[in-house]
Amino acid sequence: MQGQNHENMKKITDDILYGYFSGDTSDEKEIASWLVADSRNRKKYRLARLLYEQHLLNSPADVVEFRNRKSERRTILRRRLRLAAINAAAVAAIGIIALYAIPEQISRKLAEAVTSVEARPGQQLDLTLSDGTSLKLNSGARISYPNMFSRKSREVSLSGEAYFEVARDEKRPFVVRTFSSDVEVLGTKFNVDADEDNGRLSVTLAEGSVRVALRDNPDNAIVLKPDEKACIADGRIVVVKTEAGDEIRWKDGIVDIGGLAFDELMYKLEMAFGVDIVIDRADLPEICFTDGRLRISDGIEYALNVLRNGSDFTWTKDYRTGTIHIR
């Protein structure tokens, strides 16, 4: 009879459990019965809960949706307390199953769960990964990473610009994968700008050392020293001396406008200031200066007026939409 009841019981999937943890399910009674029925279900519940909480801990604050209505918070809290009591009583009856009895399973599940985060135009995001590595995403950048790194590797995928301070782990090199190259480090501080749309990538080293290798030709690789910058385009790697501090001023809200074509500069301003810029002219203006910096806190209108001093264009702003038109 017990086996028949078990067979007729609703199948509780990970998605149902995640919905329960977030308060988005009405399957409370089914979950309670499922927990009491089998110790394996309780083990699955604890693993799913760990994965869910690990995901929340590794998500930036503005990515996590918080429920602010008091009645909804009380409902979620009552559900969690009731189910926690059922789970605790069931575990007490059969003995506690230590969480560390399944470390390999937990590690594998967390390594398979990938989180993707994107910094919207006009926004920068600070993240801390499971190994203690900290990073800052520049406007428009996107990164994907496992909720917990595996025991053998630490790999993330990046599109756009980010600054990394990597926690040292000699047994597990840290690898940043981009559209054209892989950047491998043990523990260091460096900046990566992966501009896939224009087919360019640059890596600037502040501390330690990094190895940069082409994706389609791993043997074509270089090792950077501090205050060196690797520029990669058309399958070639060129290393130049630089001041690393100058390359990462964007972390302090400063936009470097040197060495860019006009359309590239306008795109960079779009990302930094979070605005739409439309170029309403057939030809692109020449830029008469090769170096310069703008502070984001001064605003887009101030930035455009500064640029007009070194380039022949005018601009207007549609205050209904916020769109800026270049003429």
**Going along the chain, which residue ranges are E strands?**
114-118, 125-128, 134-137, 142-146, 154-165, 174-177, 181-185, 189-195, 200-207, 210-214, 217-224, 228-233, 236-241, 254-256, 277-279, 293-295, 315-317, 324-326
Q: What is the mean pLDDT of the segment spanning 264-287?
A: 90
Q: What is the mean pLDDT of the segment spanning 102-114?
A: 63
Q: What is the pLDDT of residue 57?
A: 53
pLDDT in tens, 47-61: 777 766 665 555 554
- Kindly give the pairing relationship between strand 324-326 and strand 277-279: parallel
pLDDT of 183 above 90: yes
Between helix 39-57 and helix 28-37 the angle, nearest 10°, is 130
**Cα–Cα distance for residue pair 68/175, rounded to 1 Å:** 38
Q: What is the mean pLDDT of the segment spanning 84-109?
A: 46
Domain spanning 253-326: CATH 3.55.50: yes
pLDDT band at 74 (very low <50, low <70, confident <90, very high): very low
Secondary structure letter of residue 162 according to DSSP = E
pLDDT of 229 above 50: yes
Q: Is 310 left (phi over 0), alpha (psi -120 to 50) or beta?
A: alpha
Q: What is the pLDDT of residue 40?
A: 83
pLDDT band at 111 (very low <50, low <70, confident <90, very high): low
Yes or no: say if 197 and 165 are a contact pair by the CB < 8 Å rule: no
Domain extent listing, the chain: 2-106, 113-247, 253-326
Arch. (CATH architecture) of 113-247:
Sandwich (2.60)
Mean pLDDT, the chain, rounded, equals 79
